[in-house]
């Protein structure tokens, strides 16, 4: 039910504060312990984990990338990450001390389901992060953590993506507690701070029209590069995927430090570079990467925090988003990119809910 919205995608983008709030709500027991949804494994088994392996496709994979930064930072447990269709056909090194996390909105994506099967066969512990209750992955995994984003109809994943990141951050905090890497008081404080993020996302949503204006300025552009560093890198990949998926415009995402290893050769006055330049860990470095882009006369759209607008001189576009904890930044920074892709696609007359050649749930290889 679109309930008065032009399409499901805009409705679902706007539902993100609630989706994230519901995913985070009630997850902290009075003991400070984080609560997962369903588990058949004994509580001690998580304590024995010495490696996490995340498998996913598409947008869910990008959420998994964010999780890698957070889990390694807070728990010191190494995290490997693989695209499901690669994982299932190589020889992944996992054993009973590995926690394999399948991230999937639908819980039905064939490659991720097969990767989960493979992980079980190899004796790993398994966790599914899904949005659909009772889905195949939820039934297969030892433990389930549901994202409570509500049904997502638009083919482009939006609210389920931010909910996935929220759920995976909770997993990171849970593991940090299990591993004794964070004090319970630190976990409480981080959880508290995380629960404030939905209100920050709401602030971004209030810039809907302003982001539409930026999209209008670039409606004639035909080549986009998204760059970011640290957790801004998965955000860049996701911004590029959203734009490709619904507008069909060529868009690539890169870790900004890689520019001079190849992609910078493509930059000219026709290129548009979208830089995720919020105050996360490598802020100074992304600023110097933006300078490199400017020197090639490409247009720059900056996603930045209030007070940094000064960077957007030369008539370039600056989209301001609230500053949050550096590891929570993807939850906020990805939202203007969803809205940007939405406007670009609409301006080109595309069907944002049903992009060509794509299915909401990919149940074939
Ligand atoms: O249901 P899943 O999360 O497993 O789906 C994975 C991908 O097919 C999905 O995220 C896809 O990339 C989205 N349509 C992107 O918006």
Catalytic residue list contains 360: yes
Task: For Cα atoms 151, 112, 142, give the angle at the middle one, nearest 5 degrees.
Answer: 85
Res 311: pLDDT: 76
pLDDT category of residue 101 using cuts at 50, 70 and 90: very high
Global pTM exceeds 0.90? yes
Ligand 1 site, residue 84, Cβ cutoff 6 A? no
Q: Which range (2-11, 38-47, 158-167, 349-358) has the least confidence?
A: 38-47
Ligand 1 atom nearest 158 alpha carbon? 16
For residue range 85-99, list pLDDT tens digits in order.
999 899 999 999 999
Cα–Cα distance, 185 to 191 (Å, whole number): 10
Reply yes or no on whether the pLDDT at 305 is more than 80.
Answer: yes
Res 46: pLDDT: 81
Ligand 1 site, residue 147, Cβ cutoff 6 A? no
For 26-55, letters b (16+ CB in 10 Å) and e give ebbeeeeebebbeeeeeeebbeebebbbbb
pLDDT category of residue 47 using cuts at 50, 70 and 90: confident
**Percent of the chain whose predicted confidence (pLDDT) is above 70:** 98
Which of 56, 57, 115, when mutated, tests ligand 1's pocket best, judged by the most ligand atoms within 8 Å of its CB? 57
pLDDT category of residue 129 using cuts at 50, 70 and 90: very high
Parallel, antiparallel or unpaired: strands 143-146 and 38-39: antiparallel
* Contacting residues for 14 by C-beta, under 8 A, at least 6 apart: 5, 205, 208
Question: Are residues 51 and 78 in contact, defined by beta-carbon separation less than 8 angstroms?
Answer: yes
- Residue 142, phi then psi, degrees to nearest 5: -65, -40
In whole angstroms, how far apart are CA 43 and each of 38, 74, 311, 334?
Answer: 12, 20, 49, 34
Ligand 1 site, residue 136, Cβ cutoff 6 A? no
Question: Are residues 108 and 210 in contact, defined by beta-carbon separation less than 8 angstroms?
Answer: no
Reply yes or no on whether the pLDDT at 230 is more than 80.
Answer: yes
In whole angstroms, how far apart are CA 56 and each of 14, 104, 246?
Answer: 25, 6, 21
Ligand 1 site, residue 155, Cβ cutoff 6 A? yes
CA of residue 86 to ligand 1 center, whole Å: 16
CA of residue 253 to ligand 1 center, whole Å: 17
Q: Where do we find the tokens 């868009």?
A: 251
For 136-168, letters b (16+ CB in 10 Å) and e give bbbebbbbbbbbbbeebebbbbbbbbbbbbbbb
In whole angstroms, how far apart are CA 182 and each of 23, 139, 172, 179, 245?
Answer: 22, 31, 11, 8, 39
Dihedral over Cα of 199, 203, 206, 212: its sign:
negative
Mean pLDDT of the residues in the chain: 94
Q: Which helix (H) or strand (E) holds 126?
A: strand 125-130
Q: How far is CA 226 from the centre of its chain?
A: 14
Reply yes or no on whether the pLDDT at 54 is more than 90.
Answer: yes
CA of residue 105 to ligand 1 center, whole Å: 7
Question: Are residues 116 and 55 in contact, defined by beta-carbon separation less than 8 angstroms?
Answer: yes
DSSP letters, 31-62, are TS-B--SEE-S-HHHHHT--EEEEEE-HHHHH
CA of residue 285 to ligand 1 center, whole Å: 31
Question: Are residues 34 and 170 in contact, defined by beta-carbon separation less than 8 angstroms?
Answer: yes
Reply yes or no on whether the pLDDT at 36 is more than 80.
Answer: no
For 193-228, letters b (16+ CB in 10 Å) and e give ebbebbebbbebbebbeebbebbeebeeeebbbbbb
Ligand 1 site, residue 156, Cβ cutoff 6 A? yes
Res 43: pLDDT: 67
Cα–Cα distance, 274 to 236 (Å, whole number): 8
| Ligand 1: residue whose CA is nearest its atom 4 | 104
Ligand 1 atom nearest 58 alpha carbon? 12
Reply yes or no on whether the pLDDT at 40 is more than 80.
Answer: no
Ligand 1 site, residue 338, Cβ cutoff 6 A? no
| Ligand 1: residue whose CA is nearest its atom 12 | 58
Q: Which of 13, 11, 6, 3 is nearest to 340 (CA)?
A: 13
Q: Which range (2-6, 149-153, 212-216) has the least confidence?
A: 2-6
Mean pLDDT of 178-206: 95
Reply yes or no on whether the pLDDT at 117 is more than 60.
Answer: yes
Ligand 1 site, residue 113, Cβ cutoff 6 A? no
For residue range 133-169, list pLDDT tens digits in order.
999 999 999 999 999 999 999 999 999 999 999 999 9
Ligand 1 atom nearest 358 alpha carbon? 14
pLDDT category of residue 3 using cuts at 50, 70 and 90: confident
Res 341: pLDDT: 98
pLDDT category of residue 310 using cuts at 50, 70 and 90: confident
Res 313: pLDDT: 66
Which of 87, 105, 351, when mutated, tests ligand 1's pocket best, judged by the most ligand atoms within 8 Å of its CB? 105
28 DSSP 8-state letter: B
pLDDT category of residue 205 using cuts at 50, 70 and 90: very high
CA of residue 242 to ligand 1 center, whole Å: 11
pLDDT category of residue 315 using cuts at 50, 70 and 90: low
Cα–Cα distance, 147 to 165 (Å, whole number): 9
Mean pLDDT of 276-294: 93
């Amino acid at each position: 039910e679109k309930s008065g919205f032009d399409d499901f995608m805009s409705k679902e983008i706007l539902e993100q504060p609630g989706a994230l709030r519901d995913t985070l709500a009630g997850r902290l027991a009075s003991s400070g312990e984080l609560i997962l949804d369903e588990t058949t494994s004994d509580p001690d088994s998580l304590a024995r984990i010495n490696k996490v392996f995340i498998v996913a496709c598409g947008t869910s994979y990008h959420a998994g990338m964010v999780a890698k930064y957070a889990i390694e930072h807070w728990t010191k447990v190494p995290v490997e990450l693989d695209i499901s269709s690669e994982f299932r056909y190589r020889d992944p090194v996992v054993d009973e001390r590995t926690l394999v996390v399948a991230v999937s909105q639908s819980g039905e994506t064939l490659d991720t389901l097969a990767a989960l099967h493979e992980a079980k066969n190899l004796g790993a512990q398994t966790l599914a992060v899904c949005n659909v209750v009772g889905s195949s992955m939820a039934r297969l995994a030892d433990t389930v953590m549901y994202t409570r984003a509500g049904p997502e109809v638009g083919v482009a994943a939006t609210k389920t993506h931010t909910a996935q990141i929220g759920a995976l951050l909770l997993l990171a905090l849970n593991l940090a507690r299990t591993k004794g890497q964070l004090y319970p008081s630190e976990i409480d404080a981080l959880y508290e701070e995380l629960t404030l993020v939905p209100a920050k996302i709401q602030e971004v949503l209030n810039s809907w029209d302003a982001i539409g204006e930026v999209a209008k300025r670039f409606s004639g552009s035909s080549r986009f590069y998204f760059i970011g560093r640290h957790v801004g890198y998965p955000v860049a990949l996701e911004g590029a995927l959203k734009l490709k998926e619904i507008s069909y415009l060529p868009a690539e995402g890169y870790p900004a430090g890689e520019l001079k290893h190849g992609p910078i050769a493509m930059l000219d006055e026709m290129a548009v570079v979208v830089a995720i330049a919020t105050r996360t860990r490598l802020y100074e470095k992304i600023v110097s990467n933006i300078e490199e882009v400017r020197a090639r006369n490409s247009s720059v759209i900056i996603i930045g925090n209030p007070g940094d607008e000064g960077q957007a001189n030369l008539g370039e576009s600056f989209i301001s988003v609230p500053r949050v904890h550096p590891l929570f930044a993807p939850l906020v920074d990805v939202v203007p990119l969803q809205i940007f892709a939405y406007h670009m696609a609409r301006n080109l007359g595309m069907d944002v809910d049903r992009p060509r050649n794509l299915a909401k749930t990919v149940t074939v290889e």
